[in-house]
Amino acid sequence: MLAWTIYISFAGALLEALLPKEKNALARWLALAMALAGLTIGVAGFIAGMGQGQVEIVHAAWVPSMGIHYLLAADGISRVLVLLTGIAAVAGVLFSWNIELRTNQFFAFFFALIGGVYGVFLSFDLFLLFVFYEVAIVPKYFLIAIWGSTRREYAAMKLALYSFVGSAMVLIGLLVAYTASGSHSTALTDLAHAGLPVSTQMWVFPLVFTGFAILAGMWPFHTWAPTGHVAAPTAASMLLAGVVMKLGAYGCLRVAIALFPHGLDPWGFAYLGIGSWRDVFALLAVIGIIYGALVALAQSDFKFVIGYSSVSHMGFVLLGLMTLNQIGLDGAVLQMFSHGVIAGLLFAIVGRIVYDRTHTRQLAELETMHLARRMPFAAWAFVIAAVASMGLPGFSGFVAELQVLIGSWTTNPLWTAGAGIGIIVGVAYTWRALQMAFFSDIVPGAHVIGQEQAHPFAAVTWPEVTGVALLAGVSLVVGLYPKILLDSIEPAVKALLAGGVQ
Amino acid sequence: MSGLPMLTLLTVLPLIGAAIALFSGKHARGVALFIALIALALALVVWSGLPSDGSIGMVELHKWAPSLGIEYHLGVDGLGALMLVLAAIVTLMSVDAAHRVHHQPGLYYGLVLILESGLFGSFTALNFFHWFLFWEISLIPAFFLIKLWGGARRGPAATQFFIYTMAGSVALLIAFLALFLSTGSMDFRQLTQMAASGELETLVKSHLGPVMLWLAIAVLAGFAVKVPMVPFHTWLPAAYAEAPSPVTMLLTGAMSKMGVYGLLRIAIPIFGPQIAQIRTPLLVLAVTTVVMGAWAAAAQKDLKRVFAYSSVNHLGYCLLAIFALAVPASGAATVASQAAALNGVILQMFNHGITAAALFWFVAMMQMRTGGHRGIDDFGGLRKPAPVLAGLMGIALFSSLGLPGLNGFVGEFLIFRGAFPLAWVAATVSVLGLLVTAVVILTVIQKVFSGPVKEHCSGFPDLHSSERMALAPVIGLMLLLGLVPQLIVGSINPTVQNLLAHWRF
């Protein structure tokens, strides 16, 4: 059933592309219907899959001579991420309601991207996964280059180049694994059982992991993320931070870690306390957490604050992956979901609700605008998003980051300490942005108030309210009752760990 | 009543009230009053339905996220129930006091009710996650109440308050992570049992090495910020002074008790031996809090700051008693002293909550009548134009001073009765705090109520009947508890015995 998420999205992309140009309203409603259909299937598949392990959906030979399969399957991790994609797609459509320029084409690219993302999360054949992964890159470029803002060509090109370099690294790994395993199957399970020599895994693992981690925003390969997020139109920022970065993290887990587990073994020597690739990537993750947070603290552009915060929060995902234990990996997957929702919410408020009315993202200018009074909905929505993003209990981020911290502590307390510093800085930058943008202390003079009253901001629209309610509600529900997702994630992680990962 | 999840109801009720208040605009105060009254009634039902042996009753236990040791675990004993009643009373007083919120009243009363829910949740939780959720929830409304309705320098005050408390929270979180890693549990009762049997320390040592003392310090720091204890108190004067007076009532009356409650429910039971180990430096800090709070109050010119520092001083007695009783029990005399000290602490928490909230209420009334004046020298001879206000505020002030016959006396007496045999040096030095407090209070009475009437105070209207009606129960409670402390002590003494029986130092 879940396979239909892919087909519906690509069908949606095709339909949108074929629509006559002037029918903007039709394009919007069609997009919403398609996104909702995808989400409904995702939810149904999630519910149906509860309590089940890995379920095969479609298994057909594709290129039999090379052992390439059209193999779609889902385990608990896939189902959670498909659910996330569905939510992000619906929210993305809602926050694109005001797109007037070539509306149908915008949604065509949008759904091509969504279809690719669904495909990656459901592929259990490495070749197929790679195809979907590439499919997802192209629409990102056009979404930013055509509908973007600040230095959009530069950002779009940078994003595409980074993605392609990452893909090339992944491709090399794919080919090595394929040939070394005897060249008879590209199915993930077959490759995992191929028994690649440890020496091969030792060099393929870092290559593939880095290739995927580029897209997950791993420091120092993160620089595409802030510029890309800022330049992208709101819905694309939401998708970039919300699901595309998760593609990278998912690839790290599903491909790099699961296929080349011995790449994580100790080298046999240690230099400065670093004795394996695992230590290297954990260190990079921790640096990313702290660096992203510190840079976010210094930004003057509201959207850049959120952009760098994504780098910091994705660091938790990578750190969770490197713990290689049950609770840390649970946390990593939950953090993928949680950050997808919360980052979407933040970008929606900053890039859409606020920017479309104030036409500035400079915190110094927003400070003089008294937005808490003139835009109370945006202000209080951002309070919720900020609280969720800081990782306060009651929201999804807390449970996820808590698990990553617990997992990393049992592995290496120093990582936990570093991540803890990142959390504290995270509180600081979020609170700074919140206060500067919405609750500044600058007292307006009488004539300013008069001017402001003469030019009130446009009222909030129903898609904005619905979108905020959807994302904030999901984060709250998962935060208060994480069992919903953990019941799916835990068995899947357990199976993964049992399948060869230490 | 046993079938109803009373504690859940009590916690959810203000949240529902907040949602209604948010959208009821001008009628928000009515909604908030109504909800606060029902909450008080429910809290009294909980108080009257406690198990008579002092153990934890009304337990609600459900699975939540088992892999993380998270359970939905609620329950109260005499300590928790008394705090529920206090929180309900103070919220009611605060809502009553805030009847001139013109700016976004719906939001204001909504935030107050969310804060009340946070208080209820943290006084009933028996699992760290659950407790932490409400501990943090209460922080957000408090921040915005200061930030949006506060005085001229509210911005920095609110931020300082927020950052201090957050830093304390992080310390708490780290300590409990460590405990969870070692024991696989976040349940207060389980951890208390493990601590009492010595198992906890062994487990932590085998998992993480000799870090138990550091964990204890982290937890103490988290609570020390909230109480506050010197040197973590610097956020307090600014926050109390800049917050609107009804919000200050909530901060000092109820929120500061979250810190003391945390020490009693969490720090002492789980980290008893570690606290006993560093008892001397802790006692030094407690005595400093007592004495310095009193001296600082004496130096203030702003009535709100006077009462703010006086709050630091009063809660310092609680700290003094708590750290004094952290000694291994050696004979019946020690146990009797510990019991007296602990009874005193719990009583003092309640009394200070009522009295301090009442004092800030009076300041609010004085500000309203004089267009915002609240300097200690701004008034004079108020007993002539406003004898009733002077009389009632005088009672509250004498209660704060600890005059026998009023509620403040009994708590402080029990604290000193317990602390002298256990830590006589600290207790003796702390007496200095009592003396300076007396000077402070008498100075306030002298300068505000007697002497020549200041010009702008000549038309000072006395309390009108609705204010008298609102204040009467509060002042009545001060007199009642001063004369019949048994009303509370009778109910909390079993809890005190039960707590002491489970603690190990």
Six token digits for residue A372: 């808490």
**Residue A274: strand pairing partners:** A271
- CA dihedral of B171, B173, B177, B180, whole degrees rounded to 10: 120
The CA distance from A405 to A125, in Å, is: 32
> Could B133 and A393 be called an inter-chain contact, meaning their C-beta atoms sit closer than 8 Å?
yes
pLDDT at A312: 93
> Could B64 and A483 be called an inter-chain contact, meaning their C-beta atoms sit closer than 8 Å?
yes
The CA distance from B18 to A152, in Å, is: 44
Other beta carbons less than 10 A from residue B197's beta carbon: 11
Taking contacts as CB-CB distances below 8 angstroms, the residues of chain B near A383 are 140, 144
Residue from A374, A427, A480, A487 to probe the interface with B (highest B Cβ count within 10 Å): A427
A486 HSE (CA, 13 A, CB side): 23
pLDDT at A502: 46
Determine contact, residues A166/A211, Cβ cutoff 8 Å: yes
> Could A409 and B68 be called an inter-chain contact, meaning their C-beta atoms sit closer than 8 Å?
no
Taking contacts as CB-CB distances below 8 angstroms, the residues of chain A near B147 are 435, 439
pLDDT at B60: 87
A372 in B contact zone (CB under 8 Å):
yes
The SS3 call for residue B58 is: strand
Distance from CA of B65 to the nearest CA of A (A): 5
B388 in A contact zone (CB under 8 Å):
no
Distance from CA of A393 to the nearest CA of B (A): 5
Ranges B18-22, B348-352, B384-388, B426-430: which has the least confidence: B384-388
Six token digits for residue B473: 């129960």
pLDDT at A501: 54
Taking contacts as CB-CB distances below 8 angstroms, the residues of chain B near A439 are 147-148, 155
B381: left (phi over 0), alpha (psi -120 to 50) or beta: left
The CA distance from A27 to A102, in Å, is: 10
Distance from CA of B3 to the nearest CA of A (A): 24
Taking contacts as CB-CB distances below 8 angstroms, the residues of chain A near B180 are 406
> Could B68 and A405 be called an inter-chain contact, meaning their C-beta atoms sit closer than 8 Å?
no
- Where along chain A do its domains lie? 3-498
- Per-residue pLDDT band for B284 (boundaries 50, 70, 90) equals very high
The CA distance from B33 to B43, in Å, is: 15
B12 in A contact zone (CB under 8 Å):
no
pLDDT at B2: 53
Determine contact, residues A240/A148, Cβ cutoff 8 Å: no
Determine contact, residues B112/B272, Cβ cutoff 8 Å: no
> Could B162 and A431 be called an inter-chain contact, meaning their C-beta atoms sit closer than 8 Å?
yes
Q: Is the interface score ipTM higher than 0.90?
A: no
A66 in B contact zone (CB under 8 Å):
no
> Could A439 and B136 be called an inter-chain contact, meaning their C-beta atoms sit closer than 8 Å?
no
> Which B residues in the span 34-73 are in contact with A, Cβ-Cβ below 8 Å?
63-68
* Per-residue pLDDT tens listing for chain A (502 residues): 788 899 999 998 888 888 887 788 888 898 999 999 999 999 998 998 887 878 888 888 888 888 888 988 888 899 999 999 999 999 999 998 888 888 888 899 999 999 999 999 999 998 899 999 988 888 888 888 888 887 888 888 888 889 889 999 999 988 888 888 776 788 888 888 877 888 888 888 999 999 999 999 998 898 888 888 888 888 888 888 888 899 999 999 999 988 888 888 888 787 877 888 888 999 999 999 999 999 999 998 888 999 999 999 999 999 999 998 899 999 999 999 999 999 999 999 998 888 888 888 888 888 888 788 888 888 899 999 999 998 888 899 898 998 999 899 888 888 888 998 898 899 889 988 998 888 887 776 777 777 777 777 888 889 889 999 999 999 999 998 888 888 889 888 888 888 755 4
B164 in A contact zone (CB under 8 Å):
no
The CA distance from A85 to A82, in Å, is: 5
Residue from A389, A399, A483 to probe the interface with B (highest B Cβ count within 10 Å): A483
Six token digits for residue A271: 């230099």
> Which A residues in the span 406-425 are in contact with B, Cβ-Cβ below 8 Å?
406, 409-410, 413, 416, 420, 423-424
The SS3 call for residue B343 is: helix
CA distances B393 to B387, B397, B462, B502, Å, are 10, 6, 12, 41
> Which A residues in the span 216-245 are in contact with B, Cβ-Cβ below 8 Å?
none
Residue from A412, A439, A484 to probe the interface with B (highest B Cβ count within 10 Å): A439
> Could A482 and B177 be called an inter-chain contact, meaning their C-beta atoms sit closer than 8 Å?
no
Q: Please name the residue of chain A whose CA is at the shortest distance from the CA of residue B174.
A: A420
A500 HSE (CA, 13 A, CB side): 23
CB-nearest to B65 from A413, A423, A483 is: A483
pLDDT at B50: 86
Taking contacts as CB-CB distances below 8 angstroms, the residues of chain A near B133 are 393-394
Six token digits for residue A326: 């049950």
pLDDT at A340: 93
- Per-residue pLDDT band for B1 (boundaries 50, 70, 90) equals very low
Taking contacts as CB-CB distances below 8 angstroms, the residues of chain B near A372 are 148
Taking contacts as CB-CB distances below 8 angstroms, the residues of chain A near B177 are 402, 405-406, 409, 416
First to last CA, chain B: 37
pLDDT at A359: 85
A383 in B contact zone (CB under 8 Å):
yes
> Which B residues in the span 192-231 are in contact with A, Cβ-Cβ below 8 Å?
208
More confident residue, B166 or B118: B118
Helices (H), B371-406: 387-401
CA distances A123 to A65, A70, A73, A167, A497, Å, are 20, 8, 6, 16, 19
